Chains A and B, each alone.
Chain A
Amino acid sequence: MSADADLAACGTTVRPAGDGDAVAGVLPRWVALPETTEDVSAVLRVAAAHDLAVVPTGAGTMLDWGPPPGRCDLLVDTCCLNEVLEHAAGDLVTRVQAGVTLGSLAETLASQGQRLVAEPPLEGSTVGGMLATGVAGPLGFRYGTSRDLLIGVTVVLADGTIAKSGGKVVKNVAGYDLGKLFTGSYGTLGVITEAAFRLHPLPADSRWVTAPFPEAGSGDAPDLAGTLAASVLEPAAIELDRPVPGGGMLAVLVEGVAAAERAKAVQDLMGADAEIGEEPPSWWGRLPGDDLLLSLRGLPAALAATLRVVDAQGARLALTPHVRGSAGTCDLRVALPTSSDPDRVADFVTAVRDGIRPLGGRLTGVTLPPDVAVDFWGETGALGLMRRVKDRFDPGHRMSPGRFVGGI
């Protein structure tokens, strides 16, 4: 039977793809709309029988992150896997299908005074998208990122095998943690269909303290972000927004019953210009750009030195980098101006990579147009092992092929 006929007969809605379904510019032939994990399995079995390349998607808000797939026949759209399966408030645990949006989940949880502290930077993102990209929000500084909050996962492998690991209890060391492996795997190991998370209570009160970011250009400016990060005041997040070199703002979130009182102490640390607000600054938790976006992970004490490298290369190439993200963990995003010259962008990426490597930093692409001729992900420590994992999980290399490190 043809792939068309088998897809039509697999018990799940499958429609022909349209222009809006392109993945980073690559157009699939079909879009499947499964409603259950078993549906996903049935669809992937057909894909396996016909050697179809598969890309999973949630709301599509981050579908263009990563290089374009080498090929893409079938988009598995998890939009209909949209049920919150369980919210066990007394256990501080929730279990959801992967297509649930984080916004709707937040509403459900808030009705019982709880939250999932992982928050992706884009409106409408799904749980599956957040996990697949491993994207972190400001609160990652205190609570860890989605990989730290994930306690159980159900996935479907390229051959249709349904597998789960973990469970719905916070503490559990039985078996390998497949959730860790799938978090940040960019759809290259299989489709995440269900996830269970540990939750936290909503804070009783919150304050944001903002002040100009002291540049450490001269070398003697105090390491304010470091001081705050190590402070017994225990900020929940320390975020930096720096649209142009030298023009940054630092914003610190304090949460808890005594947030107002602690915010005053944070204000004292941050200097005379610091202001306390009850709302986050408009840029809080948002991306600094969308079509030329990079991710920079460094060591927190090297923040100033890392920014100097970014500035120097930006100046050399006449590109103004907009840096935003966690100054507490030095997990930053760097946006370059839209429609910058691709060769200069490639030069920038390579030069910044070289410059921050001795500082312990790594720069990877998030969204880069295909004409930017640079290794999207850059070096990584264990590529050989990663390839072996990929080969075992997806021997035909049909899951989001080419979207990950080393062309995985």
Chain B
Amino acid sequence: MSTLQRLTARLGEILDRDSVITDPVRLRTYDCDGLTYHRATPGVVVLPESAEQIAAVVRLCDEYGVPFVARGSGTGLSGGALPRTDGVLIVTSRMREILEIDIPNRRAVVEPGVTNLAITEAVRDRGHYYAPDPSSQQICSIGGNVAENSGGAHCLKYGFTVNHVVGVELVTPQGEIVELSDRDPGYDLLGAFIGSEGTLGIATKITVRLSRTPEAVTTVLAAFTGIEGGGRAVSAIIGAGIVPAAIEMMDALAIEAAEAAVHCGYPEGAGAVLVVELDGPHAEVDHQFAAVERICRETGAFEIRVAASAEERAAIWKGRKSAFAAVGRISPAYIVQDGVVPRTALPEVLAGIDRLQEEFGIRVANVFHAGDGNLHPLVLFDDAVPGQGERAETVSGRILDLCIEHGGSITGEHGVGVDKSRYMPRMFSEEDLDTMQLVRCAFDPKGLSNPGKVFPTPRLCGEVPGVRRGVHPLVESGAAEQF
């Protein structure tokens, strides 16, 4: 019997039979996340219902030295939830309860499998919402959001998951249940855990901050003949001291795709559209809207639409939100890239992407969070044409090089996962990566929690070297506190 089989045989001590999946056909439904070209059938899948069950499963993994991977809704775009054939996949889909809603303290406590949107839906009629809004919010789980430090269109003004999570209960890779709270003294392990892509343990309970629904929201769609005009408008808006809730841009090809897919009715002849959303107190929003409208005209917008109702707002967002899926209408296959550049470098980087398109004969549709320089180039190709897939792959990689050259990042929100671990050494030195590895070793000395993700080469942790000095052994062991 393999180690995994021996471990699997003992799962019955922890879980019901219907919470353990070993049937090969059912296992295959978990073989990838949103990055479908990486696939691996998990050794075994478990569907726990509590932190205690997860802790017990993880302790078994620790005992047998078997790797484990957490999975929420499987919408990740970097292969973060790619299973291990020799490991356990721990799926949180049966942990979907909202445990507590505490409006006076503006927080909610939820299980990790709760979807992002479910939180907002639970508190909306009490004038609150959960701010981070990834486009996948109807399905993605809060546990996955915590692992990826997910953002959304509105993070320009409101920040990311890490700015809205105030507590996490986690199962460490050694199987302990630990509480991290923003009120507790000590290291900000909460901040270190968020965005660690499942490599530091499994979140089993999450306390999120709720935000007040703004008094006013205004959404503006501005159409430009080319991407340059849109870029100038973004710079001028930021330069005027305005921080919109969101500034999104789409280029001609992305607009074409969105029209084909959802008939969003964006202005004809637009070489670029800008979606600007302003929110806050009425008096502020009215003022900012006047300024944004003026700036868009001055920078060459040939048409400006303003959403006067929730339906009109939805119509404006429809094209943007469907953009990823929409390119399927104009191309048999595509790669979704996620890179970041300083916002002021956008024009240069977009010109660079144009050059890559010419050089490799590959089309790229650009959709981006223009306010914070987060690009989502969609690299289009036809897998029936020999060599195109490889060329698209090259273009996609070269775009990341452009981002790094301009002082940016290889990922703004989709994470490193398996997809980009090989690019990490282009952004970070060996010392940087070794230092990050120290955090990993503190949480996961055996390297069992989602191994092979984020970091290019697995390293062994080893014992803690050196001598202890300066602190009494009793204090060290926690038996006494230092006064």
- Name which of B3-11, B280-288, B293-301, B378-386 contacts chain A: B280-288
> Quick one: which of B151, B243, B439 contacts A389, CB cutoff 8 A?
B439
- B344 near A162 with CB under 8 A, answer no
- B187 near A392 with CB under 8 A, answer no
- B238 near A161 with CB under 8 A, answer no
- B416 near A174 with CB under 8 A, answer yes
Nearest-neighbor residue (CB-CB) of B182 within chain A: A297
Nearest-neighbor residue (CB-CB) of B340 within chain A: A169
- B186 near A258 with CB under 8 A, answer no
Give CA–CA (A71, B212) in the complex, Å. 48
Measured between beta carbons, the chain B residues less than 8 angstroms from A385 are 172, 178, 189, 442-443
A393 at the interface (CB under 8 A from B): yes
- A258 near B283 with CB under 8 A, answer yes
Give CA–CA (A91, B194) in the complex, Å. 25
Measured between beta carbons, the chain B residues less than 8 angstroms from A297 are 183
Given A232-B212, A385-B442, the answer on whether A183 and B188 have CB atoms closer than 8 Å is: yes
- B439 near A231 with CB under 8 A, answer no
Give CA–CA (A405, B424) in the complex, Å. 33
Measured between beta carbons, the chain B residues less than 8 angstroms from A144 are 159, 163
| Interface hits, B375-417 → A, CB 8 Å | 407-416
B113 at the interface (CB under 8 A from A): no
Measured between beta carbons, the chain A residues less than 8 angstroms from B148 are 173
B18 at the interface (CB under 8 A from A): no
B472 at the interface (CB under 8 A from A): yes
- A171 near B160 with CB under 8 A, answer yes
A288, chain B: closest CB distance, angstroms: 19
- Name which of A213-221, A237-245, A310-318, A360-368 contacts chain B: A360-368
A122 at the interface (CB under 8 A from B): no
B269 at the interface (CB under 8 A from A): no
| Interface hits, A12-33 → B, CB 8 Å | none
Measured between beta carbons, the chain B residues less than 8 angstroms from A169 are 340-342, 372-373, 407-409, 412
Given A67-B482, A172-B412, the answer on whether A258 and B281 have CB atoms closer than 8 Å is: yes
- A88 near B344 with CB under 8 A, answer yes
> Quick one: which of A261, A302, A407 contacts B481, CB cutoff 8 A?
A407
Give CA–CA (A183, B288) in the complex, Å. 34
- A384 near B176 with CB under 8 A, answer yes
B448 at the interface (CB under 8 A from A): no
Most chain A beta-carbon contacts within 10 A, residue among B151, B344, B469: B469
A204 at the interface (CB under 8 A from B): yes
Give CA–CA (A168, B454) in the complex, Å. 20
Interface residues on B, range: 35 or more
- Name which of B100-108, B248-256, B260-268, B354-362 contacts chain A: B100-108
- Name which of A96-104, A272-280, A371-379 contacts chain B: A371-379
Give CA–CA (A360, B102) in the complex, Å. 13
B431 at the interface (CB under 8 A from A): yes
- A406 near B466 with CB under 8 A, answer no
B314 at the interface (CB under 8 A from A): no
- A176 near B195 with CB under 8 A, answer yes
- A148 near B163 with CB under 8 A, answer yes
Give CA–CA (A183, B189) in the complex, Å. 10
- Chain B interface SS verdict (over half): loop
Measured between beta carbons, the chain B residues less than 8 angstroms from A256 are 280-281, 283-284
Given A176-B436, A180-B188, A407-B481, the answer on whether A300 and B212 have CB atoms closer than 8 Å is: no
- A176 near B439 with CB under 8 A, answer yes
- A361 near B155 with CB under 8 A, answer no
A5 at the interface (CB under 8 A from B): no
A386 at the interface (CB under 8 A from B): yes
- A362 near B283 with CB under 8 A, answer no
B37 at the interface (CB under 8 A from A): no
Given A163-B432, A175-B433, A381-B180, the answer on whether A185 and B413 have CB atoms closer than 8 Å is: no
Measured between beta carbons, the chain A residues less than 8 angstroms from B179 are 381-382
| Interface hits, B432-483 → A, CB 8 Å | 432-436, 438-443, 454, 464-472, 475-476, 478, 481-483
B280, chain A: closest CB distance, angstroms: 6
Measured between beta carbons, the chain B residues less than 8 angstroms from A71 are 469-470
B141 at the interface (CB under 8 A from A): no
A221, chain B: closest CB distance, angstroms: 15
Give CA–CA (A144, B159) in the complex, Å. 9
A286 at the interface (CB under 8 A from B): no
Measured between beta carbons, the chain B residues less than 8 angstroms from A384 are 176, 178, 478
Give CA–CA (A313, B482) in the complex, Å. 24
> Quick one: which of A88, A162, A181 contacts B192, CB cutoff 8 A?
A181
- B472 near A407 with CB under 8 A, answer yes
B214 at the interface (CB under 8 A from A): yes
Nearest-neighbor residue (CB-CB) of B187 within chain A: A386
A93 at the interface (CB under 8 A from B): yes
Give CA–CA (A373, B184) in the complex, Å. 21
Most chain A beta-carbon contacts within 10 A, residue among B149, B438, B468: B438
Nearest-neighbor residue (CB-CB) of A328 within chain B: B106
Nearest-neighbor residue (CB-CB) of B291 within chain A: A257
Interface string of B209-246 (1 = CB under 8 A from A): 00011110000000000000000000100110111000
- B188 near A258 with CB under 8 A, answer no
- B439 near A300 with CB under 8 A, answer no
- B482 near A298 with CB under 8 A, answer no
Given A168-B407, A175-B432, the answer on whether A134 and B188 have CB atoms closer than 8 Å is: yes
- A398 near B104 with CB under 8 A, answer no
Give CA–CA (A382, B190) in the complex, Å. 10
B181 at the interface (CB under 8 A from A): yes
B265, chain A: closest CB distance, angstroms: 30
Given A147-B188, A181-B191, A258-B283, the answer on whether A230 and B471 have CB atoms closer than 8 Å is: no
Give CA–CA (A177, B187) in the complex, Å. 13
Given A147-B188, A181-B188, A402-B470, the answer on whether A381 and B409 have CB atoms closer than 8 Å is: no
A202 at the interface (CB under 8 A from B): yes
Give CA–CA (A138, B414) in the complex, Å. 33
Measured between beta carbons, the chain B residues less than 8 angstroms from A162 are 431
- A171 near B372 with CB under 8 A, answer yes
Measured between beta carbons, the chain A residues less than 8 angstroms from B280 are 234, 256
Measured between beta carbons, the chain B residues less than 8 angstroms from A184 are 187-188
A62 at the interface (CB under 8 A from B): no
B374 at the interface (CB under 8 A from A): yes
Give CA–CA (A299, B412) in the complex, Å. 32
B369 at the interface (CB under 8 A from A): yes
- A91 near B373 with CB under 8 A, answer yes
- A375 near B469 with CB under 8 A, answer no
23 contacts between A and B (CB under 8 A): A90-B235, A91-B342, A169-B408, A169-B412, A171-B340, A172-B408, A174-B428, A175-B424, A176-B195, A177-B191, A181-B188, A184-B187, A226-B104, A232-B281, A234-B214, A256-B283, A257-B287, A360-B183, A362-B185, A382-B180, A382-B186, A385-B442, A385-B443
Top 7 nearest A-B pairs (CB, nearest first) are A180-B191, A258-B283, A201-B241, A395-B466, A301-B104, A163-B435, A232-B215
Q: Please give the residue numbers on chain B whose beta carbons come within 8 Å of chain A beta carbons, in ascending order.
A: 102-106, 127, 148-149, 151, 155, 159-160, 162-163, 172, 176, 178-181, 183-192, 194-196, 212-215, 235, 238-239, 241-243, 280-281, 283-284, 287-288, 340-344, 369, 372-374, 407-416, 420, 424, 427-429, 431-436, 438-443, 454, 464-472, 475-476, 478, 481-483
Question: Besides the contacts A168-B407, A169-B407, A173-B413, what 4 more A-B pairs have beta carbons closer than 8 Å?
Answer: A91-B373, A92-B343, A147-B188, A175-B436
Q: Please give the residue numbers on chain A whose beta carbons come within 8 Å of chain B beta carbons, in ascending order.
A: 51, 53, 67, 70-71, 88-93, 113, 134, 144, 147-148, 155, 157, 161-165, 167-178, 180-181, 183-185, 189, 200-202, 204, 223, 226, 229-234, 256-258, 261-262, 297-302, 360-362, 364, 373-389, 391-393, 395-398, 401-402, 404-408
